[in-house]
Amino acid sequence: MSAVSEPGIARLSRHQIARRAAELIPDGSYVNLGIGIPTLAADVMPTDKEIVLHSENGILGVGPAPAEQDRDRDLINASKDYVTLLTGGAYVVHSDAFVMIRGGHLDLALLGAFEVAANGDLANWTTGDKRFPPGVGGAMDLAAGAKAIWVLTDHVTKAGAPKIVNQCRLPLTARGVVRRIFTDLAVIDVTETGLVVREMVSGLTLEALQAVTEPALVLAEDCRELTVGSG
């Protein structure tokens, strides 16, 4: 059992990772939620903010999942989940959804990751396993286009290996784009001088976090406890 799964450490669930990220999205932002943990953020958006969610297939103003009887086969998001449209939302053609992405109109994209490097490189589109067909979807467009990229991911792989690495081994999605990483253990900023830990879960030490993170971590002066619902 690795140090970070000891009983005293208040690891976040996938939903809690999504919720913490959602809490930190600036009010009024235009945001895309990628496949994986980010998608979970859609249903836990803070109710005191107005945040406009974008979906690559052509929706601006994505609302929460509908009740089962209200599902509409013409209204799904890019993860192919049933969604709704917020009042004030609009439908656009696919190429215009990517004008928004590529043109730098999205304030933020929350993406999943296989690996994130200390310099902000992101690998999240293929494991390179030749047995399976690769799929890229909108990952490269989002990574290259949004004004800021936040990654939401488990801190380590199922096998316990670090996902925050010195250099990505897997094929890249984009170079140097990640600004912040939300994991089950910490919130880490990617800065020019290195990785800065802004929040850590209760019971965790920097040494324990460093043990499951390849690049050197620096503790922010105002590092606080990572909890959900703390605004």
Active site residue 56: yes
* Candidates 1-9, 27-35, 207-215, 219-227; binding stretch for other proteins (CB under 8 A): 27-35
Q: Tell me whether residue 81 or residue 206 sits nearer to other proteins (CB atom).
A: 81
Q: Tell me whether residue 49 or residue 224 sits nearer to other proteins (CB atom).
A: 49
Please state the closest distance from residue 146 (CB atom) to other proteins, in A. 11
Characterize the bridge pairing of strands 52-55 and 59-63: antiparallel
Nearest residue to 149 (alpha-carbon basis) of 125, 179, 120: 179
* Candidates 70-78, 153-161, 180-188, 222-230; binding stretch for other proteins (CB under 8 A): 70-78
Nearest residue to 63 (alpha-carbon basis) of 37, 49, 45, 36: 45
Please state the closest distance from residue 104 (CB atom) to other proteins, in A. 6
User: Does residue 90 touch other proteins according to CB under 8 A?
Assistant: yes
Binders in 109-128 for other proteins, by CB under 8 A: 126
Helices (H), 116-183: 139-145
**Do 62 and 86 form a contact (C-beta atoms < 8 A)?**
yes
| DSSP letter for each residue of 45-61 | --TTS--EEEETTTEEE
User: Does residue 55 touch other proteins according to CB under 8 A?
Assistant: yes
* Candidates 7-15, 96-104, 108-116, 180-188; binding stretch for other proteins (CB under 8 A): 96-104
Q: Which two tokens stand for residue 182?
A: 């939300």
User: Does residue 208 touch other proteins according to CB under 8 A?
Assistant: no
User: Does residue 231 touch other proteins according to CB under 8 A?
Assistant: no
Q: 């920097």: which residue's tokens?
A: 206
* Candidates 169-177, 180-188, 189-197, 209-217; binding stretch for other proteins (CB under 8 A): 169-177
User: Does residue 58 touch other proteins according to CB under 8 A?
Assistant: yes
User: Does residue 133 touch other proteins according to CB under 8 A?
Assistant: yes
| DSSP letter for each residue of 170-220 | SPPSBSS-EEEEE-SSEEEEEETTEEEEEEE-TT--HHHHHHT-SS-EEEE
Of these, 93, 158, 159, 222, which contacts other proteins (CB under 8 A)?
Answer: 93
Q: How many residues bind other proteins (CB under 8 A)?
A: 62
Q: 């324990």: which residue's tokens?
A: 208
Q: Backbone phi, then psi, for 74, in 5-degree steps?
A: -95, 5
Of these, 87, 193, 222, 229, which contacts other proteins (CB under 8 A)?
Answer: 87
Distance CA 197, CA 5 (A): 19
The residues carrying an active-site annotation are: 56
